A and B are shown apart, each in its own frame.
Chain A
Amino acid sequence: RKEVEQDPGPFNVPEGATVAFNCTYSNSASQSFFWYRQDCRKEPKLLMSVYSSGNEDGRFTAQLNRASQYISLLIRDSKLSDSATYLCVENAGNNRKLIWGLGTSLAVNP
């Protein structure tokens, strides 16, 4: 079983819509998670971290549900520039290795 699972999408939404992605993880001891954004033919870039219960940054909200072992990313008022692949990342522990999901593709349409 893959350790970090994401719905690959693609999610096609109109501008202004609210969209949510979920990501499940298998290691119940993991303490921290990240959402990265990867544009086509570019490197992944940190979007936000997810610790304890969650994190909010402008239009983006990340939530962590430890009981069900999933994290989510909510994007409000979607912009065309939000079109990208969103990678869910688990920090699995002391060895500093990051475990990467396959990514969820988002296309925001005019």
Chain B
Amino acid sequence: SAVISQKPSRDICQRGTSLTIQCQVDSQVTMMFWYRQQPGQSLTLIATANQGSEATYESGFVIDKFPISRPNLTFSTLTVSNMSPEDSSIYLCSVERAFGGGGQETQYFGPGTRLLVL
């Protein structure tokens, strides 16, 4: 598995402000993923972040609202811009790692950032 940390673990923010979430991994990874999990919902992929290139955003998510940085192979940030109460959610980063002995890969998650927008 991977050791992944996120900062902050939680925050309460005023509408119209922005919050930057940091994700740190214990070793180099090619791809990092940012998800959102709204109350009572499953995980929704926001974007995939590769080092050295622009992030790839999923339908319904745009760079102006969720700018992402990937300055190196162990770190990424997601900014939630111009927040509204609808942005209240858990934001999770994940990385792909091998598991078992058969070369299979899946995603391992950071502990998440709980955001409440008032």
A interface with B by C-beta (< 8 Å):
32, 34, 41-46, 49, 51, 87, 89, 91, 96-98, 100-103
Contacts and interface: CB of A to CB of B under 8 A. Distances in A.
A103 B38 CA distance: 13
Contacts of B100: 49
A15 to B, nearest CB: 27
A102 B44 CA distance: 10
Which 3 A-B pairs give the minimum distances between C-beta atoms?
A: A43-B109, A100-B42, A100-B43
A42 B104 contact: no
B31 A43 contact: no
A44 B96 contact: no
Interface in B63-103: 92, 96, 99-100
B108 interface: yes
17 contacts: A34-B106, A42-B111, A42-B112, A43-B92, A43-B109, A43-B110, A43-B111, A44-B43, A46-B99, A49-B99, A49-B104, A87-B42, A87-B43, A91-B106, A97-B45, A98-B106, A102-B42
Nearest to A91: B106
Nearest to B4: A43
Contacts of A89: 106
Contact of A32 (B44, B48, B104): B104
B109 A44 contact: yes
Nearest to A45: B109
Contacts of A91: 106
Contacts of A102: 41-42
Contacts of B114: 41
Contacts of A87: 42-43
B107 interface: yes
B52 to A, nearest CB: 17
Nearest to B107: A98
A91 B105 CA distance: 10
A51 B99 CA distance: 13
Nearest to B105: A96
Contact of B106 (A46, A97, A101, A103): A46
B16 to A, nearest CB: 27
